[in-house]
Structure 1
Amino acid sequence: MQKIVIIIMLLLAQAFSVAAQKATRPNVIFLLTDDHRWDALGAMGNSIIQTPHLDALAKRGILFKNAHVTTAICMVSRASLLSGQYMSRHAINDFNTDFKPAALAQTYPALLKKAGYQIGFVGKFGIGVKNQPDTLFDYWAAKKEGQPPYELVNASGNAIHHTDSVGKDITQFLDRFAGKEAPFCLSVSFKAPHELDGNPPTYPVQERFRPMYENVKIPDPLTAAPQYWDSLPAFFRTDQNIGRDRWKPLLSTPELRQQTTRDYYRLITGVDEVVGQMIAQLKTLHIDENTLIIFMGDNGFSLGEHGLEGKWFGFEESIRVPLIISGGALPAALRGQSSPQLALNIDIAPTILSFAGIPAPTRMQGYDLIAAAQKKRPPRQDFFYEHTYLGSPRLPKVEGVVTSDLKYMRYVEHGYEELYDTKNDPYETVNLAKRSSEQGRLEAMRRRYEELKGEVR
């Protein structure tokens, strides 16, 4: 009899332990902006843009000062975010390819769901169109389209801005899933501050934000001067280049640069407002202390630098993004940090999984950023960059290697090389590849390029 009682007590203790573990597992919210360059954030030193809620998140968490993407275009970067893999491995390199079932099962939302999380998706999915995985999610608020419009019509027949619609869906998700026995993971993807594609492209902003920045002088980028476009190779320096084509109606004069940058900032401030509302709701629901919040951009954006508009290429404006890991679930010892480590979009999936106590699949190529912040693993020294969608003349294909202070890029269709000392030349004004004095560093970067090119597959 005594043995039976002991067995029952052990079983009850085990059950209570499992229940307690489930109850304390952290909620996760991943926030993604579209075309958000690294310095379009107050916390990153921009004294013009107003992003108080994101800045506050940064102060309460880890602000990654050197976050980058491995491919600067939305569908590839989003596939890398979900899978933790380089494009060379996940093989999603156009707007129609989607995750096959086996690959989808190895993304962070699917793995969290398998482990008992309730999962939601809000906003722009951006990978494929016909076979977007709405049935995987417990909550899905995304239209099956490649690029959603900014002006939507809600269920009441009223017009609503995409950013505001995302905010309402976040509110609905939290009201429905907060405080349940199972933890949740909500992935949110804003369209902002992406332009509205068209001829010409436009930046539709909410009416309440139109007065913002109107009387503020936006400084012209150093490399907006004509000589930096003129210094680029002939195969790149053509009106057929998409970056140049979109530059003309939006950034080709000082007046256009002022207007476009103001609208770009207005859209980001709209996102910041939604983030503030979300944080307030987390507190009201009393789940803020058990929620991890990650904020990132899917790629950067050139606002006239090098005579370009957009992303795609290897310049810092294109590949560098804001990244914050914050929230009450983040260990107190990590709060208020500014990290110089090279962080990547492929790190998001393994970081989320690790925080939730779920092993990352061996096919994931990123690593746990929190473990690196805790010095449990060495920081990354460099990474491979690849953008091979479309090709010349519209988007010349480029691959390369980025370190904390040096960048090597190779336009693979043309054999043209760039070498920039980003520590001493952060605006990438001087290509060192043809200088005889730089042949040592150039050769070292060529070797590393070949090594990484083989490793990312």
Structure 2
Amino acid sequence: MPLFAQSKRGNDRPNIIFLLTDDHRWDALGAAGNPIIQTPNLDALAGRGILFENAYVTTAICSVSRSSILSGQYLSRHNIRDFNTDFSPEALSQTYPALLKKAGYKLGFIGKFGIDVNNQPDSLFDYWASAKEGQPQYELVNQSGKIIHHTDSVGKDIRQFLDRFGRQEPFCLSVSFKAPHELDGNPPTYPVQERFRNLYKGVTIPEPVTAAPEYWNSLPDFFRTDKNIGRERWKPLLSTAELRQETVRNYYRLITGVDEVVGNLVAQLREMGIDQNTIIIFMGDNGFSLGEHGLEGKWFGFEEAIRVPLIISGGALPQKWSGKKTKKIGLNIDIAPTLLGFAGVPVSLGMQGVDLMAVLGGKVPARSDFFYEHTFLGSPRLPKVEGVVGADFKYMKYTEFNYEQLFNTKNDPHETKNLSGDPAYLKQLNLFRSRYQVLRESVK
């Protein structure tokens, strides 16, 4: 039997809940060492489970990352490169929800789907609560004509799903919050729940090391333009100290709103008596720059953009994993194989991720690096970038301009100095150039 297919209750396959936040950077979590943000329920999940300190996405944009989560594949293989492409019927049949359904799981999906609005796979699921819109509004009007915040609406649907299917085990519920994604507009905004509007009021948010103008000015000319979306969105939200303080506070407020829903979810599982037969995995779909390098947003290869929170927890997780932290690399493409592993369901041959529990158990080698790719739009809006992220170094190549970056992320975690032109690092640069070519072919 595959590793961890059994739950504490015996031979029953565990229920599985996958929670996804939108634009949630790795350090916006109390358990990750953030001394300001209040995330007690997520911290408790980490305390009862496994916190991945080096979790990343292989492409930092929501539609591509979500496709990678569902399929266990890199962009170069699933080939969903924009917001108007969906899974073919054959590809959809090999995603983790479809494979779990074939194995007898009841399926639920709640929140922002984020892949091709017009062709959502709602018929695959037993419970579907996702509006046909690329970016949901934060303030929704319910059937009574009252305004409900998107995060609270997600919480309501979670309760409904569990009331209906919670005792029809096993089930797999995938939940996708809009928070803490900004509400697109001119300017973008962060609508928070009324009860959190004064949270963090008066708290001073530290200034990032690379928020200083010199770091934006050190970037190449093709990147350093007002047409760059990351710079365009930086201006109304982060370009002054006052703006940045309020933007980050609102970002944190939205995450605390998610944390509240997670707490209610865990409480309901306990009330129903199914918490000990449930696995909970929590992740962000990509990271988010909050002024670092003079940018707002994701897309590029900087740590703030590609590194995310990842927690594996739940009562069905064997006790020996409780309260563990690991520095092993975990990726968004690993979610599908890991979920299937808990259910004892074989992965599809096309999946490129690995079962993270098998990695932690020593049954699968831990990766030492991974390929990063972002090809949406291109210059000047979003210069295309590919590269290799290793344990101590990172290599990024802006492919339209053959421009290279090499960062020693061990000694320079804020990525303040590009070493690609430093003769002392030529050997390291050439090693990463070679590795880049190998990985670039292997992910197809």
The answer to whether the superposition gives a TM-score over 0.5 is yes
Q: Which residue of 2 aligns with 1:288?
A: 275
1:267 has 2:254 as partner: yes
- Counterpart among 376, 390, 397 of residue 403 in structure 1: 390
Superposition pairs for residues 117-132 of structure 1, below 5 Å?
A: 117-132=105-120
Q: Which residue of 2 aligns with 1:389?
A: 376
1:416 has 2:403 as partner: yes
Q: Which residue of 1 aligns with 2:189?
A: 202
Q: Deviations over 1:202-238 (max 9, x none)?
A: 0000010011001100011010000000000000000
Question: Counterpart amino acid of 1:326?
Answer: S
Q: Residue 402 of structure 1: CA displacement?
A: 0.2
Q: Which residue of 1 aligns with 2:144?
A: 156
Q: Which residue of 1 aligns with 2:3?
A: none
SS of residue in 2 equivalent to 1:32: strand
Q: Residue 376 of structure 1: CA displacement?
A: 1.5
Question: Counterpart amino acid of 1:302?
Answer: S
Q: Show structure 2 runs of 5+ residues with no match.
A: 1-7
Q: Residue 417 of structure 1: CA displacement?
A: 0.1
Q: Residue 335 of structure 1: CA displacement?
A: 1.3
Q: Residue 22 of structure 1: CA displacement?
A: 10
Kindly indicate whether the alpha-carbon contact (under 8 Å) linking 1:23 and 1:183 is maintained by their aligned counterparts in 2.
Answer: no
- Counterpart among 367, 377, 380 of residue 380 in structure 1: 367
SS of residue in 2 equivalent to 1:353: helix
Superposition pairs for residues 52-451 of structure 1, below 5 Å?
A: 52-180=40-168, 182-451=169-438
RMSD: 1.1
Kindly indicate whether the alpha-carbon contact (under 8 Å) linking 1:119 and 1:137 is maintained by their aligned counterparts in 2.
Answer: yes
Q: Residue 446 of structure 1: CA displacement?
A: 0.3
> Runs in 1 of length 4+ with deviation above 3 angstroms?
20-23
* TM-score (normalizing by structure 2): 0.98
Q: Residue 374 of structure 1: CA displacement?
A: 1.2
SS of residue in 1 equivalent to 2:117: coil
Aligned counterparts of 1:222 and 1:269: Cα–Cα separation in 2: 25
Aligned counterparts of 1:455 and 1:183: Cα–Cα separation in 2: 35
SS of residue in 2 equivalent to 1:48: coil
SS of residue in 2 equivalent to 1:31: strand
Kindly indicate whether the alpha-carbon contact (under 8 Å) linking 1:67 and 1:322 is maintained by their aligned counterparts in 2.
Answer: yes
Q: Deviations over 1:224-264 (max 9, x none)?
A: 00000000000000000000000000000000010000000
Q: Residue 21 of structure 1: CA displacement?
A: 10
What is the identity percentage for the equivalent residue pairs of Structure 1 and Structure 2? Answer: 72
Q: Which residue of 1 aligns with 2:4?
A: none
Aligned counterparts of 1:123 and 1:319: Cα–Cα separation in 2: 22
Deviates more, 1:37-46 or 1:146-155: 146-155
Q: Which residue of 2 aligns with 1:15?
A: none
Q: Deviations over 1:260-283 (max 9, x none)?
A: 000000000000000000000000
Aligned counterparts of 1:28 and 1:427: Cα–Cα separation in 2: 36
Aligned counterparts of 2:124 and 2:50: Cα–Cα separation in 1: 31
Aligned counterparts of 2:362 and 2:160: Cα–Cα separation in 1: 38
Question: Counterpart amino acid of 1:144?
Answer: K
Kindly indicate whether the alpha-carbon contact (under 8 Å) linking 1:22 and 1:183 is maintained by their aligned counterparts in 2.
Answer: no
Question: Counterpart amino acid of 2:303?
Answer: E
Q: Residue 157 of structure 1: CA displacement?
A: 1.4
Kindly indicate whether the alpha-carbon contact (under 8 Å) linking 2:9 and 2:276 is maintained by their aligned counterparts in 1.
Answer: no
Q: Residue 293 of structure 1: CA displacement?
A: 0.1
Q: Deviations over 1:157-193 (max 9, x none)?
A: 111000000000000000100112x400000000000
Q: Residue 23 of structure 1: CA displacement?
A: 6.7
Aligned counterparts of 2:430 and 2:214: Cα–Cα separation in 1: 28
Question: Counterpart amino acid of 2:107?
Answer: I
Q: Which residue of 1 aligns with 2:5?
A: none
* TM-score (normalizing by structure 1): 0.95
Aligned counterparts of 2:118 and 2:378: Cα–Cα separation in 1: 25
Aligned counterparts of 1:408 and 1:206: Cα–Cα separation in 2: 40
Kindly indicate whether the alpha-carbon contact (under 8 Å) linking 2:406 and 2:419 is maintained by their aligned counterparts in 1.
Answer: yes
Q: Residue 105 of structure 1: CA displacement?
A: 0.4
Q: Deviations over 1:11-59 (max 9, x none)?
A: xxxxxxxxx9997110000000000000000000000000000000001
Q: Show structure 1 runs of 5+ residues with no match.
A: 1-19
Aligned counterparts of 1:23 and 1:96: Cα–Cα separation in 2: 42
Kindly indicate whether the alpha-carbon contact (under 8 Å) linking 1:334 and 1:373 is maintained by their aligned counterparts in 2.
Answer: no
Q: Number of aligned pairs?
A: 437
